[in-house]
Amino acid sequence: MSESTLIGTDLGKHTFHLHGQDKSGREVFRRKCSHQNSAYL
């Protein structure tokens, strides 16, 4: 598994998106979550 060096967050009214990149700029993960589920991250 690659290590994330940059993590971005996009906040919305009902959902938010998390995006992680490694050192070379390649996507490591992308996740869409609702505000209700944010306690489980």
Q: Tens digit of pLDDT for each residue in 1-41?
A: 568 888 898 988 889 899 999 999 899 999 998 877 666 55
Residue pair 8/16 in contact by the 8 Å Cβ criterion = no
pLDDT value at position 41?
Answer: 57
**Domain boundaries along the sequence of the chain:** 1-32
- pLDDT attached to residue 40: 57
Closest CA to 21 of 7, 33, 36: 7
Q: What is the pLDDT of residue 19?
A: 93
Structure tokens at 3: 């290590």
pLDDT at position 22 is 92
Record the pTM: 0.64
